[in-house]
Amino acid sequence: MRVGDQVTLEELERDPYPIYARLRDEEPVAWVPAVQLWLVTRYDDVRTVDLTPEVFTAATDPSTLNRTMGVNMLGSEGPDQQRIRRVVEPPFRPRDVEERTKGMIPKLANELIDGFEARGECDLFREFADPMSVRSLRFMLGLDEVAWEDLLRWNEGLMPGLANFEGDPEKQAPADAASSALSDVIGRVLDRLEREPDGSALSAMLHSGADRMSRDEIVANTKLMLSGGLQEPRDLIALAVLALGRHPGQLQKVRSDRGLIKSAVEETLRWAGPVGTSTRQTTRATELAGVELEQGALIGAVLSSANRDPRRFTDPDAFDIHRKEGAHLAFAVGNHFCLGAWFGRHLARVSLDILLDRLPDLRLDPDRPATLTGWEFRAPDSTWVRWG
């Protein structure tokens, strides 16, 4: 019996890393019926998939992304994907993010900490990482008139649909409901921006000149940016605190030398990246790692497995902020490299720096340990901490 045939969705959700290790060693390109994908698990092979769109296209059919949010740039390929990327990318470049936020991120971080600092304990996942990510992105996109709690709730509704590779209708129904609600509210904001353009990403999409986007394209890609821009930075903040808290020696080094914050964030992305796969489909019959793939084969290029491939990283299951082994693949690579990579990194670095400033002796609460779950979207259920 092949290794892929033995993999269950429950095992993947609980802890995919032992499964990935076995697949890398025994079946680096494996058909996994539980998720209806060929899982590609070695670093070099994952790079090959992401960097060869003429063979491994992001315009898959079926597509969990397009099914849940509408056709968007991450689920597309070719001229339309490039046109939309040209419009959407500029507001998320480092200089543009800094210009638009103008100190908003540190201000928001301090405001949130003010709300719980005196207690000496809190769940940073819910009381800091959640509102930090959603309120920052809401501002960047131009959705300030929408309650952040609603955006968070709708985004949480979307996530099961985005990971619904098995096509479970019970997972898809709440995702479709959340997607419909988001379509309505984004449409109302666009009506206002037609009359009152501002410097937001939504306004840039609406008034994009020669590369003008349709309303449907704007709505679908706004949902995409919400799903990535809320989930990834939020989970990255929580995962960084969790990883450092489980390695108190490294936490102390970061506390003493803030120049290590960048390394700590990058190692968190490698060790437990918030997004698991790049989904692709073969445009023709091809061979990968000695495995024949038919035209139309659905591929899951497993970023999180590539980032723990011992062929690429020394002692890859260990968390080590002093690692000097080059780039991870947490944000993918190629023409679908994550649009919000710099924004997410920036948000996590600033947040971690301010948390260490404001909460002396920050540490994990041993009485309320976190549980990590998920294979496509991996995150803790909580991040309870104490300080002082």
CA–CA gap between residue 373 and residue 272 (Å, rounded): 11
Residue 211's pLDDT is: 85
**HSE (side-chain half, CA atoms, 13 Å) at 291:** 19
- In tens, the pLDDT along 48-97 reads 999 999 999 999 999 999 999 999 999 999 999 999 999 999 888 888 88
Residue 230's pLDDT is: 86
How far CA 99 is from CA of 33, 90, 138, in Å, comes to: 47, 12, 16
Residue 85's pLDDT is: 93
pTM of the predicted model, to two decimals? 0.94
Q: Name the stretches of the chain with pLDDT < 50.
A: none
DSSP state at residue 385: E
Percent of the chain residues past pLDDT 70, beyond the cut: 100
Q: Give the dihedral sign, CA 311/314/316/322.
A: negative
- In tens, the pLDDT along 361-372 reads 999 999 999 999
Residue 101's pLDDT is: 84
CA–CA gap between residue 15 and residue 11 (Å, rounded): 6
Residue 153's pLDDT is: 95
DSSP state at residue 284: S
Range of the domain at 122: 3-386
Residue 14's pLDDT is: 97
> How large is the greatest C-alpha to C-alpha distance in the chain, in angstroms?
62
Number of domains in the chain: 1
Residue 245: CATH number of its domain: 1.10.630.10
Residue 82's pLDDT is: 94
